[in-house]
């Protein structure tokens, strides 16, 4: 059982918060987020209960009883977080004055509950012991689950990679395959990720597949499992750097049956940290655990870095974004590449010169046109039901400015999420989680961000994605576009608004247009995906024709480096 007296008393405060979160998830709560940390404003966990009301949980892993002052803070936090129900979970209960305040609040109709260890244990004991199988999203995912299940069941291949585009459920696929396999044999699994945020998200994603009888443990810079836990706990979720440091110190890691690496494009042939772990565990060899990598984006910009030496020559499963769109596994996309910011006069200055993507970008694009971006967002706003948008910006200051400009138009409510500091303010974890909770609840409709949503964060009901930043990274493009492509009830399509500021983005758009125009092999579906070039007045066939003639070698141009000269020939005259 994941909650026992011994686990509670020996887990530490971070694990205490996650134990409570896991209990809520098993009880059917949605949007469970740990928001505790420095400056958490009196909350540790927020969640949406089965009754549709927001809960606020204050976890007190204290050696003494919680005083009245902390109860007051919890009540104040409930107002800040707009929570209807407040709960204090206290390792050693609350003192007499706090208990009197609690009773007074209840008499006033304000919900304030206190849970102790015995309450957690009792609630956990009442949970169903049998894990309900999760339904695959479609035949494609069932086939992927079967492939991973067979690999784990027969022990071959020893190493492999699963490539599934963002929105197709790669973590679901791995977790369900592991669940099915553990019905027949006990597996010890080490799950690795390159950031602490991903480690915690992976543990949380696996809980519904494990059931309440299966404890889990986290291994990162804040928590290090005991040797006994490493030996006995069957599911360890660990950060790459923590395990690599452990290995480099000469310590040995207990045996596992499977090493699972999420976002495995970070575990390439030049990744010394991952390679050290894989070597120490002999992962992927006959004498070591099986090795499985998960990624949505197996593209590496460094030609010296490769994934094949680590995970094998060909993926066990490979479903890219185009295949998913063509076969209806992803939401159909209305992708609009805007041409309003093209500086046609500036292009003439390049005639007769040896040009590179960097030199073209300097002359070819107007740098910023935020008002035009917001105008097109407002147009798209009226084209979908229950619109929710992510606006990808270039810098933190740009994200904050876009938030303010969007709110000034008053057609929606925008907020910004970032991972650093700007304008003298740092955005803490609790602030980011509060914005995400408001976004999930519909109190916020637009999130302006930089790169926070590239990996790990799941926002399935997004149906508008706006690119208002300079990037030519194929990996980032696929990750960010994928945030709007997950199929959810009521979503008819996703609209992508791309205000390109790099010539390679036009090449990527043309490549996507060509790929989607080809008939999908084996598909009888009628899919409404489209890629169009537009300006403020509507479709822009003149610019599209010109760009198609100039950027004919879309593959070479899309992958060109900033200084690559020769891949871009001076274009034909615009007629």
What is the per-residue pLDDT across 404-460, written as a single tens digit (0 to 9) for each? 999 999 999 999 988 766 555 677 777 887 888 888 888 999 999 986 664 445 677
Beta carbons within 10 angstroms of residue 96's beta carbon: 10
Sorted by sequence, the CB contacts under 8 Å of residue 92 that are 6+ apart come out as 62, 63, 64, 65, 66, 116
In 3D, which of 396, 373, 410, 414 has the Cα closest to residue 497?
373
Instruction: Quote the strand ranges of 133-265, DSSP E.
Output: 159-164, 189-193, 217-219, 235-239, 258-262
Contact by Cβ (8 Å): 129, 136: no
Task: Tell me how far apart the alpha carbons of residues 67 and 279 are, in angstroms, rounded to a whole number.
Answer: 51
- The mean pLDDT value of the chain amounts to 88
pLDDT digits (tens, 9 = 90+) for 43-86: 789 999 998 899 999 999 999 999 999 888 888 888 888 899 99
Every domain of the chain and the residues it spans? 5-125, 139-319, 330-558
Write out the H or E segment, with its range, that includes residue 371: helix 370-381
* CATH, domain range 139-319: 3.40.50.300
Residue 38 is predicted with a pLDDT of 56
Q: 330-558, superfamily in CATH?
A: P-loop containing nucleotide triphosphate hydrolases (3.40.50.300)
Contact by Cβ (8 Å): 33, 433: yes
Give the CA angle between residues 187, 188, 193 to the nearest 5°.
125
Residue 219, strand partner residues: 238
pLDDT digits (tens, 9 = 90+) for 353-376: 888 888 888 888 876 678 889 999
> Does 5-125 match 330-558 in CATH topology?
no
DSSP annotation of 391 reads E
Task: Tell me how far apart the alpha carbons of residues 192 and 203 are, in angstroms, rounded to a whole number.
Answer: 10
Q: Which of 277-281, 350-354, 468-472, 506-510 has the highest mean pLDDT?
A: 277-281
pLDDT tier for residue 160 given thresholds of 50, 70 and 90: very high
| Domain boundaries 5-125, CATH class | alpha beta
Contact by Cβ (8 Å): 57, 43: yes
The fraction of the chain above a pLDDT of 90, given in percent, is 54
Contact by Cβ (8 Å): 176, 144: no
pTM of the model: 0.88
Q: Is the bond leading into 157 cis (omega within 30 degrees of zero)?
A: yes
Which of 110-119, 183-192, 428-437, 528-537 is least confident? Answer: 428-437
CA separation, residue 323 to residues 333, 489, 513, 523 (Å):
13, 21, 13, 10
């Amino acid at each position: 059982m994941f909650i026992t007296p011994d686990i509670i008393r020996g887990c530490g405060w971070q694990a205490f918060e996650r134990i409570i979160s896991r209990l809520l998830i098993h009880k059917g709560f949605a949007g469970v987020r740990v928001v505790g940390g420095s400056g958490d404003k009196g909350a540790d966990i927020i969640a949406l209960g089965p009754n549709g009301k927001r809960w606020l949980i204050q976890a007190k892993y204290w050696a003494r009883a919680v005083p009245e002052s902390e109860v007051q803070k919890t009540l104040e936090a409930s107002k800040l977080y707009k929570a209807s129900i407040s709960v204090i979970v206290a390792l050693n209960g609350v003192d007499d004055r706090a208990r009197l305040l609690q009773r007074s609040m209840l008499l006033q109709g304000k919900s304030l509950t206190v849970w102790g260890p015995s309450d957690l244990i009792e609630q956990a004991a009442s949970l169903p012991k049998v894990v309900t199988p999760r339904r695959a999203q479609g035949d494609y995912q069932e086939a992927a689950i079967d492939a991973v299940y067979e690999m784990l069941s027969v022990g071959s291949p020893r190493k492999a990679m699963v490539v599934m585009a963002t929105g197709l459920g790669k973590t679901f696929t791995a977790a369900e395959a592991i669940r099915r396999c553990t019905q027949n044999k006990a597996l010890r699994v080490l799950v690795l990720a390159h950031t602490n945020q991903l480690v915690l998200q992976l543990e949380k994603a696996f809980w519904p597949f494990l059931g309440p009888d299966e404890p889990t443990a986290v291994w990162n810079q804040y928590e290090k499992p005991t040797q006994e836990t490493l030996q006995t706990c069957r599911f360890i979720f660990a950060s790459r750097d923590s395990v690599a440091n452990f290995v480099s110190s000469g310590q040995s890691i207990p045996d596992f049956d499977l090493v699972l690496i999420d976002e495995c494009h970070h575990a390439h042939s030049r990744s010394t940290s991952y390679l050290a772990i894989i070597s120490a565990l002999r992962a992927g060899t006959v004498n070591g655990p099986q090795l499985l990598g998960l990624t949505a984006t197996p593209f590496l910009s460094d030609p010296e870095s490769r994934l094949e030496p680590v995970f094998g020559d060909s993926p066990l499963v490979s479903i890219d974004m185009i295949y998913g769109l063509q076969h209806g596994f992803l939401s159909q996309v209305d992708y609009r590449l805007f041409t309003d910011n093209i500086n046609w006069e500036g292009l003439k200055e390049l005639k007769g010169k040896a040009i590179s993507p960097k030199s073209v970008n300097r002359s070819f694009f107007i740098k910023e046109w935020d008002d035009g971006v917001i105008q097109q967002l407002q147009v798209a706003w009226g084209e979908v039901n229950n619109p929710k948008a992510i606006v990808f910006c270039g810098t933190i200051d740009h994200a904050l400015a876009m938030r303010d400009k969007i709110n000034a138009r008053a057609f929606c409510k925008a907020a910004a999420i970032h991972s650093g500091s700007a304008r003298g303010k740092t955005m803490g974890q609790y602030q980011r989680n509060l914005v995400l909770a408001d976004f999930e609840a519909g109190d916020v409709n637009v999130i302006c961000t930089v790169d926070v949503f590239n990996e790990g964060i799941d926002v399935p009901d997004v149906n508008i994605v706006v690119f208002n930043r300079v990037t030519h990274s194929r990996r980032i493009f696929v990750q960010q576009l994928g945030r709007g492509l997950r199929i959810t009830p009521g979503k008819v399509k996703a609209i992508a608004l791309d205000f390109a500021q790099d010539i390679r983005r036009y090449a990527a758009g043309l490549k996507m247009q060509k790929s989607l125009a080809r008939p999908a092999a084996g598909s009888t579906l009628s899919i409404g995906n489209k890629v169009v070039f537009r300006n403020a007045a509507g479709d822009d066939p003149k610019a599209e024709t010109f760009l198609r003639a100039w950027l004919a070698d879309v593959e070479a141009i899309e992958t060109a480096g900033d200084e690559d000269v020769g891949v871009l020939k001076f274009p034909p005259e615009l007629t």
